[in-house]
Amino acid sequence: MQGLTPATDTAALCARLCAAYPRRAAALQRMHDVCAEMAQTPGVIYSLASVAQACGKKRHPDDEPGPAEGTIRNPEGEPYRLLIAAFAERNPVSKHPRRTDPTEAELGRASPLVRHHVRALERRATALGAENRVLREEVGQLRAKLGGNCGEPEAAVPPEGIEELRDWLSPTSHAKRGWRVDEGGRLLDARGTTVMRAEAYRALTKTTEIPY
């Protein structure tokens, strides 16, 4: 069942997968039908996330959504991933130059409240980074004086600061606001407006990984 090409017959592949995995036959056939409907949209991208999202929608009142993204991604989800890969081969998307992070003008289109939160978080991240650099330099100097006989430096980050960032960056917090992180790593609000550039978002996320 390997060796997928643009000429792969997805219906035939689905039939073989249903025969090989009878307990997942209904879900496989439903995924095939959903993927076939997706193909009617120009430029559609077949990814595990996009297909799972489409499969999560009811197509008629008696329809049973699924399979879920977690099911597709887990080790037993190989037949689902293979079917998605077959559709991706048959419906290639032309590769455009990857868009760079948005400019300040784009961020300026966000609401004042969003801009305020972003600026405050960026300042907080910068301050925390500076505190850690100073501490690491001090520990490095101390280590040199002690001949290297000291442990790893600890981050000089107030626990409440880390928790505040961690809560704000949590998926639950994003979901409440209707926000999401796109494939490029940018944080978007419910209207699709950039809330935070990918680089800044990665820096903040990295900050929350500091142990304390």
pLDDT at site 154: 45
Q: Is 30 exposed, middle or buried (0-12, 13-18, 19+ CB in 10 A)?
A: middle
Does one domain contain both 19 and 83? yes
Distance CA 122, CA 200 (A): 7
Does one domain contain both 20 and 113? no
Does one domain contain both 116 and 203? yes
Joined tokens for residue 174: 């994003």
Strand partners, 194: 188
Taking CA atoms, 16 is separated from 10, 24, 31, 156, in Å, by 10, 12, 14, 58
Does one domain contain both 40 and 115? no
Which of the listed residues 90, 125, 149 is the one where a domain comes to its end?
A: 90
202 CB-near residues (< 8 Å, 6+ apart): 185
- Rounded (5°) CA angle 30-36-41: 130
Strand partners, 188: 180, 194
Which of the listed residues 90, 120, 143 is the one where a domain comes to its end?
A: 90
pLDDT at site 150: 47
Does one domain contain both 120 and 198? yes
pLDDT at site 155: 44
Domain that holds residue 36: 10-90
For every one of its 212 residues, what pLDDT tens digit does the chain have, with 9 covering 90 and above? 457 888 899 999 999 999 999 999 999 999 999 999 999 988 888 999 999 999 999 888 888 898 999 999 998 899 999 999 999 999 887 655 555 455 566 666 777 887 777 778 778 777 777 777 767 776 666 666 655 444 444 444 455 666 777 777 888 888 888 888 888 888 888 888 887 788 777 877 776 665 54
Helices (H) and strands (E) counted in the chain, each on its own, are 10, 3
Strand partners, 196: 187
Domain count, the chain: 2
Does one domain contain both 123 and 44? no
Which of the listed residues 35, 65, 90 is the one where a domain comes to its end?
A: 90
Residue whose entry in the numeric block shows the structure tokens 């992070």: 101
Q: Is residue 4 part of a domain?
A: no
Around Cβ 169, how many Cβ atoms within 10 Å? Answer: 18
Q: Is residue 48 part of a domain?
A: yes
Distance CA 54, CA 12 (A): 22
pLDDT at site 152: 46
pLDDT at site 189: 84
Rounded to two decimals, the pTM is 0.46
17 CB-near residues (< 8 Å, 6+ apart): 1, 24, 28, 79, 82, 83
Instruction: Give per-residue pLDDT as tens, 83-140.
Output: 999 999 998 876 555 554 555 666 667 778 877 777 787 787 777 777 777 677 766 6
Selection from 1, 27, 6 nearest residue 87 by Cα: 6
